[in-house]
Structure 1
Amino acid sequence: MENKKEIVTFDIEGSAVECDKELLIKNSDYFSAMFKGYFKESSENNIKLQGVDLKAFNLIMLILWEESDIVTLDLNETYLLLEAACMLQFNSIKQLCEERIMIVLSPSTSLRTWKTAELLDIIPLYLKAKCMALENFMEICESDSILELNLEELCQYLGHIYLNSHKEFIVFQTAMSWFYENQNQSENINPTKVVLKLLSCINFNALNVGEITEMKTYPNISENAEIQMILNCIINLRNNRCTDVVDEFDRDVVSTAVHLCGAKNRKISVKPCILLQSMHPTHTPQSSRITTIVIYDRFHRKQTLTAMSASHLSLSVMSGLAYDSLTDTFKHFFPLEEKKVEHIEGFKLVRYKHFIFFFGGQHLRGSNEWNLNLWSFDTFKNKWERRNKLPHGRRHFETCIVGDSLYIVGGTGRFRVLQNNLLHCDLKTGKWSSEIINLPKDSREYQCCSFLGQLCILYVNHGTVYTFNIADSSWQSFKIAVEEEVVNSLGKYTVFADSTYIYIKGRKLLRLKFENNSFVLDKQKDVRLSEWIEIQCVQCNNLVYTIYKCFDEKYEFCYTLEEMNLDTDEIRNIFENKIAETDPVVVDKKTFYIRANTTQLFSTASYQYVKENIFVNDFL
């Protein structure tokens, strides 16, 4: 005869809810401790539950009794369910909620997910949501979700050093929009103190004097004498009129203005990655076939060398390894399956927000097919998906992401025809440019980068930078004011840029500043004397990572990975002269090898960096 269920009745928000006690004990650590421990409730059948949402509790019971699918719940119900599951320790339901929220996580849901998951201390969900919210500020600032934050939450968001805004003035505009919507929320808060706290979220060093002057015209600022004085003082400080500051403003105003001018620059939450090949456990480089090759040096001297056939290496998987500069260690980050990369050359890996794109290239053995797929790896959800398709086959091209546009520049197309043009894709809509745009010069000596929201193509040897206007597909040229002797000393070079400078890195590091309608040399430094045949570079805030491909004394490909601090000019090698397909890189007891012609350096989002609340300034 079936055992009779023991029923316990809960009083939740004034409603009686009957439950199977054994079912609760089986699924909840909270109720297991309550009914099996030495609590008075263990012998009671009528219990009042405080602080529990009735709807959420009924959803839990529905899932337990009927094994209902959580996917049928809307997101608001899922948040309610998650909070109750955490409180009452229904761990399996908590996990289901986390998985459901992670699946639908997007910029529009990231703020609420961040705040909910942080309150419940759910890691890494809250860090991923926080990173997404900070990265996608330009999209979130146009939505109403930001208006629902309280003052403390808003300041923690807008003031965060990893907030990604195309222009700092937009952060100010967003803060004031929130203020106008919420200024009547509490009569006990002094409006001047609120505005000053909001101004503490702004990096005033990233604003020009015209933008600071425009601030003074905003309602609730234009009629506020104290804030007007502070902004006027900041303008004088920016114009180096220190004598006027001392004469015109009292000590408190000057102190506040100096504080606001002491803001730190914003950063991006990224770290470098390198693509290496992992070896099958049963294969080693030594077991691969050794071949003999004959080469002639530049003096026509004959040399016989041995080389390992790369085709006999196990092609089980290529792997992205992320590098942590704080611990000086690599960590396995993502796999790239054999079918995507077997015998492929000339492809690119590039970061877009928290995604890694893999696209372009050609399978140079076997099928000779072009890789027309634009693959996307979601670093938060740890999965690959086919995002788009390239309209034309390209390999060995330059690439750049500017805002939400992906550019493919130059390279080699079908029938080995060199391409002196570009095409671009809107990553929000997935639409490619309807026409192929010719490059401004007929030259293969160029590099591209994103600078101040535009694609820049640098013809360094010609002393010219061209910027591309995507609205009308036009080009504008600017002079590079660098002496020819300096340019000739660069050797093979690469370029990168931040919000202030364009950098050219070869044997020297040149820092260019846009001034008087041209790019002038702001700083130069000798960085490397030895020769190389290829160079790749990626910037992660003030650290620049460079990988050099060289020949060693036996004419074998070898690679050096270098880190340079742009603030201190300090340079160190992370690894040096590693021979392709021979010298191992050991990560977590797994062995990886550099694979000639496919090793790439790129950056990736790192949600761990946003855990600590670092702000551009201390809040007033």
Structure 2
Amino acid sequence: MDTGALGLGGPSPCRREGLHSGSLLGFLPPLCRMDEESPDGLLFKDPDFSSDLLRQLDGFRQNGILTDVSICAGAQEVLCHRNVLASSSPYFRAMFCSHFRESSEAKVQLKGIDWPTLEQIIAYVYTGQVHIAAENVLPLMEAASMLQYPKLFEACSSYLQSQLAPGNCLGMIRLSEILSCETLKKRAREVALTSFPEVAKSADLKELCALELRDYLGDDGLCGEEEKVFEALMVWIKHDLQNRKRYIQELFAQVRLQYVHPAFFHHFIANDDLLQSSPACQTILETAKTQMFSLHGTSAAGCRALGHVPPRNSYQDFLILLGGRKDNQQTTRDVLLYDSQTRQWHSLAKLPTRLYKPSAVALHRSVYVLGGMAVSAGKSVVSHNVYVFSLKLNQWRLAEPMLVGRYSHRSTAHRNFIFCIGGIGDGQELLGSMERYDSLCNAWESMASMPVAVLHPAVAVKDQRLYLFGGEDIMQNPVRLIQVYHISRNTWFKMETRMIKNVCAPAVVLGERIVIVGGYTRRILAYDPQSNKFAKCADMKDRRMHHGATVMGNKLYVTGGRRLTSDCNIEDSASFDCYDPETDTWTSQGQLPHTLFDHACLTLQCLPHTASRSLLS
């Protein structure tokens, strides 16, 4: 035989035409090329071979060619190949490759699977495809579980996950437990926790057992106000009061009363008949009342503090900037929100009026803006108005006005009270007076005046005491004093110190210390009330005043203000810096949207979807 003619030896046709084998590769179709080189040749891979083979086998099945078994569902049957079924799942492999009677039977009956589902399963085995929809997903999933097709099972799970909603997620959890589907269960639980207020309205919540409800109410990831948690609990108990009231103590303990709005607690929880009928719940209520409303706090005789429970993980801190002087122009009405997750600034509903040097505090997930000089139609009036901003509604409303109109004053919050201190009055006089607002009663009352009237001190509350650091007198001279107000006794005392020389500086509580941030200086001082000692922290980059400061996540954030340059000029600032007490270092967070000073800088804790609704409204 002429081996050359077969291309196994001798000169090839390519060589005779003056071509070499390498040049021939350029004419081969891409799917016929060799994929991997080896010392003894090339490994050929056909990516379509397996799918073509499966397509041919499916054609054989549909035409009854070489089929050797009928799979039956009731009276219906479908012809198949044992080797194809055995290679597709461990279930059929055990059936046909072991000594079970089905291995030799011509017909095999599958119980628990209806005919339409069996048809779809067999089609999936031969084609790798199946259409999943609402009407077939459950029988398909059950069949995939029984016949051991894990990828089909997870595909059904993915479809169900795509259909999850607050109204069906608890039912999906039940289903996932029946089918032992952990991926569906995990995702359904996430929906139940993140949409809890909506889930609480569903009929499925009332059907939970006590252990299941406790598991939800106690979860740190539950995304809902504590008021909603309490309401869900009471709806569940009253659905079957006779059998469920014995669980009230155990479930009520899951409500984090420290984070319930005092007005809601006072009106809807404190005097609830069902809670009052339980001695254990009565004890919890009395402790909560003392902590929320008593000026003595947990130091009162016989008071046992509620266990320290952090707010749920679903809450997020947002930084809020209000008013101030923008771009060195007139006082602005702008309200800005900073989302630390996205590092973006957003605009909220504007202040109702332009206010020069008001004060502002955050209390009960709302912002209170107090006093200031109202500027309208060229007239300036010292205001005693109080405006309250709800982030949830993105709206402002008026609260009870202060007893005395004032601006350039300081305010701080403690429990359900706001303390408004000093400032300049309607006759441009320096005020030493202080008044207190009770947010529960919506009422103001006069308190003891400070020992020395000062402007622009740094103010903070720690351990039942209100601290005023420094400030300036009527002649604009720095005052080297710490003035301390004992809240429950309504008394003041003062201490002289050479460490204090701050004017127009904010103060914040950072851990166990009060931090005084600048004030015509770059110096940062941390004051320990227990030891009455100061410690120096890392300096700011610039000498700053009229800036804002707040705490988020145990870090200090400083915004805007004015800075003194090296040649003693004053410049407006748009800086945005962060101080980490763990490392005693400063880092820049970028820039504010514009230069800003004499503004309020606050932290407001709320649910992220609450902030999102405000940004869209």
**TM-score normalised per structure 2:** 0.47
Kindly name which structure, 1 or 2, has the bigger radius of gyration based on alpha carbons.
Answer: 2
Q: TM-score, normalised by structure 1?
A: 0.47
Report 1 or 2 for greater relative contact order, CA contacts < 8 Å, sequence distance ≥ 6: 1
Q: Larger strand proportion, structure 1 or 2?
A: 1
